[in-house]
Amino acid sequence: MLMIRRVLGGGPFAETGDARVVAVDERLGVTIVGGFGGRLQWAGDGTADRLSDALLGVYDLDGAVCRWLHRPRWPVNAVAVHPSLPLVAVGTGSYDGGYFFEGELLLLDLAAGTVTSLLPHPRQVRSLAWRDARTLDFVLAPADDWENPQAHSQGHRCTAVRDDWAAPGPLGSEETAAPAGPCSPSPDGRPPEEVLNDLSGGRREPRRQVWAVEVLPDGRILAASEGIALECWEPSGRRAFTVPDAAGGRQIRVTPDGGSAWVVLNRRPRRTEDGRRCDPGSAARFSLADGAHTAVLAPGFSLTLAARTDGWMALRDVDLDSAGQEALLVSPGGEEAGRVRLGEFDLINHPFAVRHSPELFFLRGGRHGDDVGKRVARLDPVTHAVTDLFPLEWDTARDGHLFGGPVAHVRDAAGEALVHGGAVHNGRGLLPGNAFVVRRALPGGTVAWVFTTDHNVTSLDIADGTVYVALTCGTVVALDAVTGEPRWSHRLRIGAVPAVALSLAAPSPDRLVLGTTDGRILDCSVP
């Protein structure tokens, strides 16, 4: 089974992202953190976006050990420790952007680590406090803002009384039926991050999603993450260099000579008076000796990168507001080599970044009434010819709407193929068994095997006949590359709490490197 040999980029309170709410209880010796892990999507990939970005962690006072970790459905707005019992009331919720104020009132058992939802229906909890050992006061947002322009500044002041909060039972409708009135935010105390920094003795280093990892032949690990364009870790575990960036790196492609790496830098989508737009992105080249910035390609659009093993690259426009949505071709020497139109791209339908690829592969089509559906296509960077190879959907009886995902190229005893992850769209969401990994023969797309799962695939790689797959549930699965048979699966845990791998690289048959949603890098051995 997988064994974590080393954790890079960890530290106090690492599991809960950016702190929104902090409660410290010296009596119980705990710090409770409600945090924000960051959106698990960027302009070029949204395959992990179904995972909640809200986090709730219970730590020792200094944050060195995380005892319990949960992912609430909605952001944490308030936490309050019971005055005598090892219980914590947690208020979560947010506005859905168009109508409802949804959330939960949770009761966290510090001894068992379990969470109980108390409200009969989803409702945003804006604040809460224990009046005494029997009485919990909490403020609910209005259910919605229909014909109520004041809803965003109103609240319903409610009270729940229990003789024994260890077994409270659900709240009744009469306990949540208070009149609406003005609701002002509670005065802020010290900034949560400042509190955590003090508790950790100044050792707090907030980190976010690790979008890409690569391992160099000499054992060094490269990582691109939120707020960091590129960082390099030596085999000893020492960080060799870090290149900060306001947004951070999204993809890494090491040049064939191994001396530098191209990193995709994309800003978060922003809203203007004209609607949603993406800020232009770039691909920057960094020296792997010291992290020096040596070149930049700025095609004028937000982008995703496809690369061949010989160094050819294509920077594809992923901005839905672009008129042309073309791709900029880049030679192995880093020179612009023309532009080719590939059609529209969106971050759920068209992710298809291929590892170890001798060709430039893409997904195209399948939007705005295109009844042909998405196709896997190949682009020749010299002639600019685009060739459709096969439909993404292989099951003509199902004739489903498939989403793209991570891909790896393989050439083995069974032939040349693409192994790719994805999911089948359903209006009710991701249904059981509707996520998959599939092996497709090149060039015709014949299916050799399909592995189905209930959880989205965040990343995959192939080494020595094994396909390694990371899922949003935190499980890593190893599959036989020829037959698709599962060899083993492992639920990631760092210490006592679960973790989720967002990126993955398999540099050798016995080593796996994972980048997590919380900003850590796991250097692992595998059987």
Residues contacting 272, CB < 8 A, separation 6+ = none
Residues contacting 362, CB < 8 A, separation 6+ = 306, 314, 316, 327, 342, 350, 352, 376, 377, 378, 379
The string of DSSP letters for 353-388 reads -EET-SSEEEEE--STT-TT--EEEEE-TTT--EEE
pLDDT of the residue at 303? 95
pLDDT band at 247 (very low <50, low <70, confident <90, very high): confident
pLDDT band at 429 (very low <50, low <70, confident <90, very high): confident
Centre a 10 Å sphere on the Cβ of residue 430 and count the other Cβ atoms it contains.
18
Q: What is the mean pLDDT of residues 387-413?
A: 96
Tokens of 125: 């909890």
Tokens of 229: 């364009």
Residues contacting 186, CB < 8 A, separation 6+ = 127
pLDDT tens digits, residue range 334-366?
999 999 999 889 899 999 999 999 999 999 986
Mean residue pLDDT across the chain: 94
Domain ranges in the chain are 18-199
pLDDT above 80 (res 116)? yes
Tokens of 49: 């976006």
pLDDT above 60 (res 372)? no
pLDDT of the residue at 169? 93
Q: What is the mean pLDDT of residues 483-507?
A: 97
pLDDT above 80 (res 185)? no
Instruction: Report d(CA 403, CA 46) in Å as an integer.
Output: 10
pLDDT tens digits, residue range 118-145?
999 999 999 999 999 999 999 999 999 9
pLDDT tens digits, residue range 191-242?
999 999 999 999 999 899 999 999 999 999 999 999 999 999 999 999 999 9
pLDDT above 50 (res 371)? no
Q: What's the pTM value of the predicted model, to 2 decimals?
A: 0.94
Q: What is the mean pLDDT of residues 395-413?
A: 95
pLDDT tens digits, residue range 311-329?
999 999 998 777 668 999 9
pLDDT of the residue at 366? 65
Tokens of 175: 């306990």
pLDDT of the residue at 47? 86
pLDDT tens digits, residue range 67-100?
999 999 999 999 999 999 999 999 999 999 889 9
Place of tokens 């005055």: 83
* β-strands 94-95, 66-70 pairing: unpaired
**Three state DSSP letters for 105-164:** EEEEECCCCCEEECCCCCCCEEEEEECCCCEEEEEECCCECCCCCCHHHEEEEEEEECCC
pLDDT of the residue at 267? 74
pLDDT of the residue at 201? 95
Question: In the chain, helix, strand, coil percent, each to 5?
Answer: 5, 50, 45
Percent of the chain with pLDDT over 90: 85
pLDDT band at 60 (very low <50, low <70, confident <90, very high): very high
pLDDT of the residue at 65? 96
